Amino acid sequence: MPQHQNNLDISAFEKAIGVLFENVDLYYAALTHRSYLNEEPGWPHGHNERLEYLGDAVLELAVSEALYKKFPDSPEGKLTLLRAALVNYQLLARIAEDMGLNKFILMSRGENRDIGKAREVILANAIEALIGAIYLDRGFEASREFIARFVLVRLDEIMRSGSYKDAKSELQELIQERKKLTPSYRVLEESGPAHERKFRIGVYFGDELIAEGEGMSKQEGEIEAARRALEKTK
């Protein structure tokens, strides 16, 4: 078994995130970026992409529920904007850094040296994978408590700064007012290796493709598509 596993201080990791594990294997998987397997092909736990997929859904549900209860008089549009601000990859990456998650993620030496957007995406994906692991290991209530402690606690900061009103948010408010519909986003193309995926995203008004954008995450591509759509519609 790779030496790295023995160097992972699970008790320190549990303390950092405030969760006690039952199935430790889930957390090893959650901490493993795909690139790590290139250097440690015998790693028995796999990588974190399936857990990320699950954790993304759990995160969105928990945040949606919390916002629905906290703002009983707010329209769907505002709730959607607030949720998007809380689950975007840049905020999740900062949360991962603040909780020290970056110290525990297993990745290739090359990825470990990266300090750009790709690193932010890795951190954001890891926190989503961790949420997926908590959900499978401890259930939805434990996941919700984790999300409240680390993600929802940022809500006041987002409300004060108005940072939830990015290009995507501005486009949504404008089109809901003008056309009484909500813009939708679709992945038009994915390219690049698994650890450096690039996404081409289309923004639609109904069935009409309005603009396209590219980014190193779906969210980044959506924001770029929204910015270009705003240029066309203002």
What positions carry a catalytic annotation? Answer: 56, 128
Comparing C-alpha atoms, which of 28, 33, 37 is closest to residue 7? 28
From residue 94, give the alpha-carbon distance in Å to each of 24, 28, 77, 121, 209.
25, 21, 25, 11, 33
CB 30 within 8 A of CB 133: yes
CB 155 within 8 A of CB 82: yes
